[in-house]
Amino acid sequence: NAGVTQTPKFRVLKTGQSMTLLCAQDMNHEYMYWYRQDPGMGLRLIHYSVGEGTTAKGEVPDGYNVSRLKKQNFLLGLESAAPSQTSVYFCASRRGGARRLVDEQFFGPGTRLTVL
Amino acid sequence: TQLLEQSPQFLSIQEGENLTVYCNSSSVFSSLQWYRQEPGEGPVLLVTVVTGGEVKKLKRLTFQFGDARKDSSLHITAAQPGDTGLYLCAGERWDTGNQFYFGTGTSLTVIP
C-alpha cells in the first residue's frame, strides 16, 4: 500500500516549457487535490477533483490544467511554465463521497519545481 | 490574502517550555484540521475538530476549536525536540465544494 505517490520528485524547467506532474493513489479515494506551497504562504489549492472525470478550480488555478481520467490518477499540467510557478507541489487524496465530518487528507511527498 | 492566518509565523523555544499557536479567520468552517510537516515531506494529520468549543488532546498537544468555528489553537506542553516542524491549520468549507483552506503555517524549533 504505497498511499499517495508523486512523479517526478524534482524538475527544472526553462520559461515557456511544458510539463505534467503525476499523482497516483492506491486507497480508492474519491477526492484528489493539487496544492502549491510557497514560503510564508502555507498551502494553496490549485485544482481538485471529487471523482473520476470531474475537476474544479481552487484558489490559484491560473496557468495550470488538470485531468482525472482514472480514479487513481490526478495529473497537473503546466502548458507554458513561468518563474512564478517555482514552488513545491503537493498532491493529496481523501475518501470523500457523502459529507464526512472526519476525513483525513493524505499527502504525497511533493515535487520541487524550479522554473528558470 | 490568506483565509486563515496563523501566529506566530516562527517560534524558537527551549525544551520543556509551553507554547500556543493560533489560527484565526473571519470565515466559519465546518471542520478544522491541524497538520505537522517535516522538511522534504508532505503534511501529516494530527487532529480534526468539528464542533464549536471542542477540545481534543493528543498526549502533550491540546487543540481547541472556537465557539463560532472561526478560529482554533494548538497548545503544546513541555515541548520536546521531536515537536520541531511546520504546523499548519486547515479549515474546510462545505459552501465551496469541500475545499480546504490552509493557514500560513507556524515553524517551530525546540532547542534541546
Q: How far is CA B72 from CA B2, B9, B103, in A?
A: 15, 15, 11
- Whether B50 sits inside 8 A of A90 (CB atoms) is no
Please tell me which of the candidates A45, A56, A110 has its beta carbon nearest to residue B100.
Answer: A45
Distance from CA of B80 to the nearest CA of A (A): 24
Residue A2: the pLDDT is 78
| Whole-number pLDDT of residue A7 | 96
**Distance from C-alpha of A87 to C-alpha of A112, rounded to nearest angstrom:** 6
If you count residue pairs, one on A and one on B, with CB atoms under 8 Å apart, how many are there? 66
Amino acid at position A78, single letter: L
Inspect the interface and report whether the beta carbons of B94 and A99 lie closer than 8 Å: yes
B86 Cβ under 8 Å from any chain A Cβ: no
What one-character DSSP code corresponds to residue B60?
T
Q: What is the pLDDT of residues B62-86, one digit of tens each?
A: 999 999 999 999 999 999 999 999 9
Does B62 touch chain A if contact means CB atoms closer than 8 Å? no
Q: Count CB-CB contacts under 10 A for residue A101.
A: 11
pLDDT at B96: 75
Residues of A whose CB is below 8 A from B90 = 43, 105
Q: What is the pLDDT of residue A99?
A: 60
